[in-house]
Each structure stands twice: as structure tokens, then as C-alpha cells.
Structure 1
Amino acid sequence: MQEQENKQAQQEVPATDAPVEPAEMVTEDLTPEFVQAAAEEPADETAHKIAEMELKLAEMQDAFVRAKAEGENIRRRAQEDISKAHKFAVESFAEAMVPVKDSLEMALKVEAPTVESLKEGVEITLKQLNAAFEKNRLAEVNPAQGEKLDPNKHQAISMVPADQEANTVVTVLQKGYMIADRLLRPALVTVAQGK
């Protein structure tokens, strides 16, 4: 009886030492058409295709390394440009301020200034300063009396009784300034109290 069981077990278990043919290696990922084509393909053609794929892989790796290096170069150049922009941002303004400084120094060199000559020199210097401000988009914030208080441009210091509408500008204590559309300093104002 035991001999019959041994014979039956030998018949059920396939031999594992035998070489497996490519056509027998069907897995879930490989389609039968692919397996059949691989089995029919000569070894030289397969080696040729592998060599082509390795060449393509090498080309793609080279392209990737070059693209990565180019990206790093672009990032580095952008950082340098930002650094230079920060460093030389005031260059235009400084250029416009040099004549103002020259005018002030010349005014101090006058040996016997008169009140009229000093006033004339200050007026000329103020014109130069205003031109420098205008050139660099530095604008005054100087609200008129009765103008509505704008908390984005004005800073109310106090409320005073007045014969005008509540929360309107009564007096400007100090002008404000804007650079382009950004507030540099708010105008200091007093505003009318509600009645």
C-alpha cells in the first residue's frame, strides 16, 4: 500500500530540476502574446534590444543630469539678481540726492550770507529735493482740511471740536509719504469730533 502512495506522490509532483522554457514562464504581468514573441525572438535580437534600451537609459540619465544642473544654475543666478537688487535698490534715489547735498554744502561755504540769499538757496534746494522725490515716485500725503479721515494714509493724533463733519481732517501736523502705492509714513492729523 505504501508503494502505491509513493508512486502517486511522484506522479503529482513535477520535477523542479528541469529547465523552464520561456513559454512556460507566464506570469500575471506578461501577456501570452509577449511570452510567445519572446520565445520566438532570437538571442541576438534580444541582446540588440537590451543594448538599445541601455543606450536610451544613458541618454535620459544624461539629459536629467543636465536639466538638474541647468535648474541649479537658474536658481543661483536668480538669487544673485535678488541680492544685487537689494544691494543697489536705492541707487537711483541716491543719484537724485547728490545734487541736493551739493547745494547744501555750497550754501554753508558762503562767507557773508544774507537772509534773502539763504532763503533763495533753501528754495532752490527744496525744488531739487522735490524733483528727486518725484523721480523716485515718493509722493506727499497732505490731506486738505475737511477731507475724510483715511486710516490707510492718515494717523489721527487727537479729536478736536470743530464746525465740520465728524471724522474729517481739521489740521495736518506732519505730512505723510508714499512710495509708489505703499505707505512710507502716515500723515499726522487732528480730526473733528462728533457733535
Structure 2
Amino acid sequence: MQEQESQQTEKVEAAETSAPEPLQENVAQPETDAKEVNQATPASAQPDASQIIAQLEAKVQELQDSFMRAKAEGENIRRRAQEDITKAHKFAIEGFAEAMVPVKDSLEMALKIDTPSIEALKEGVEMTLKQLSAAFDKNRLTDINPAPGEKLDPMKHQAISMVPAEQDANTVVTVLQKGYTIADRLLRPALVTVAQGK
């Protein structure tokens, strides 16, 4: 029994002596120095200062070109807009003038008649008035003709005088002259007399 134990002990000791020593792994890896990395990379891969300056100058030139193009385009738009405004002012009444030409033609034709009758003159005036009213409607020129008893509106009516009347104060009694608006803008107020009140 003792012999077996001693044999086993000898085997274990022999195994321990014969086993190679375990390899120790180098946990801490050597740090690479920045100088070594720079030396390892080829010089052609590293941009030098002159290349960087050249790239930046090219970018500045590109931005300047873009700015100049945008500025020129802005100037062209401003100039075209100014021309459109000038043309709009110059030809603003073109549509109204086209509508008024037939009215002038009718008046000239009426004057060419040597001895017109009263009926013919009246008929010509009525036709001319219809043409004129159509021209006004086409160009959004509407009349202001308040009815008697209507409240005085200082935005549309101009009171010439106050007269005694059997109606509420500050109401229209008579219209002396019609007023006009063009496209909802006052062109001329209606001239009216207003009641003084009861």
C-alpha cells in the first residue's frame, strides 16, 4: 500500500517536472508613438500646408462665384420688377381707355348731324349713356347715390348744408351730385344735404 502511494507521488512529481512552463501572454501591448505612425505612413498620403491652402483658396473662389451669380440674379429680378411697375403705371388706364373710345365715337357721330331732331338727340344721348355705364361697370367704377333718409356716411358722403326736414338728424335729404368708387376705393364723395333734425 505504501509502495503504491509512493509510486503515485513519484508519477505526479515527474509530471510536474516534465510539463513545460505555461506561456505568459503579454497583456500590455506596446504603445505606438505618434512619430512612429507618421514615419510609417508615406509622405504622399499626408497633405502638406500648400495643398490645404490651395484647397481653401479654391473653396473661397467657388463661394465668391456663387455669391456674384446670386447678386447678379437679384439685380436682374429687381430691374425686371421695376420695369413691370413702370409699365403698370404707364398703362394702368389702358383698359378704361379702350372702353371709353366707343363713347367718344358716339358723341362725334351725334355732332356730325346737321339738323338733329329732339328725339334723335335724346336717343343718341341715351345710347351714349348706356355705353358709358357699361365702360364704368367693366372697370369697377360704381356710383354712390344715397337714398333720402339714409344715414350720413362721412366715408362716402360730403354734407354741403343742413336743412330742416321731417326726418332723423344727420340723414340724407337730397343728393346734389353722385359720388363714385373705383374698386372699392373712394374716387369722389357724394355731395348731399342733411337734415337738421326734428
Aligned with residue 107 of structure 1, among 89, 107, 110: 110
Q: What is the alpha-carbon distance in structure 2 between the residues aligned to residue 167 and residue 111 of structure 1?
A: 50
Q: Provide the residue aligned with 2:54 in structure 1.
A: 51
- Equivalent residue of 2:84, what SS? helix
Instruction: Tell whether 2:107 aligns with 1:124.
Output: no
Q: Provide the residue aligned with 1:141 in structure 2.
A: 144
Q: Provide the residue aligned with 2:67 in structure 1.
A: 64
Q: What is the alpha-carbon distance in structure 2 between the residues aligned to residue 168 and residue 182 of structure 1?
A: 23
- Equivalent residue of 2:100, what SS? helix
Q: What is the alpha-carbon distance in structure 2 between the residues aligned to residue 111 and residue 69 of structure 1?
A: 65
Q: CA deviation at 1:45?
A: 3.2
Q: What is the alpha-carbon distance in structure 1 between the residues aligned to residue 47 and residue 166 of structure 2?
A: 103
Q: CA deviation at 1:167?
A: 0.5
Q: CA deviation at 1:75?
A: 0.8
Q: CA deviation at 1:44?
A: 4.1
Q: Provide the residue aligned with 1:77 in structure 2.
A: 80
Preserved CA contact (<8 Å) 2:146 2:172: yes
Aligned with residue 160 of structure 1, among 156, 163, 168: 163
Preserved CA contact (<8 Å) 2:166 2:197: no
Q: What is the alpha-carbon distance in structure 1 between the residues aligned to residue 171 and residue 183 of structure 2?
A: 25
**Aligned-residue CA RMSD in angstroms?**
1.6
Aligned with residue 184 of structure 1, among 184, 187, 194: 187
Q: CA deviation at 1:78?
A: 0.8
Which ranges of 4 or more aligned residues in structure 1 deviate by more than 6 Å?
A: 40-43
The aligned amino acid for 2:158 is Q
**Count of equivalent residues:** 157
Q: What is the alpha-carbon distance in structure 1 between the residues aligned to residue 183 and residue 167 of structure 2?
A: 31
- Equivalent residue of 1:149, what SS? coil
Q: What is the alpha-carbon distance in structure 1 between the residues aligned to residue 185 and residue 109 of structure 2?
A: 34
Which structure 2 segments of 5+ residues have no match? 1-33
Which moves more between the two structures, 68-77 or 169-178? 68-77
Q: What is the alpha-carbon distance in structure 2 between the residues aligned to residue 131 and residue 80 of structure 1?
A: 32
Q: Provide the residue aligned with 2:92 in structure 1.
A: 89
Q: Which structure would you say has the larger Rg?
A: 2
- Equivalent residue of 1:156, what SS? strand
Q: TM-score, normalising length from structure 1?
A: 0.77
Deviations 1:98-149 (A, max 9, x none): 0000000000011220000000000000000000000000000000000000
Q: CA deviation at 1:48?
A: 1.9
- Equivalent residue of 1:189, what SS? strand
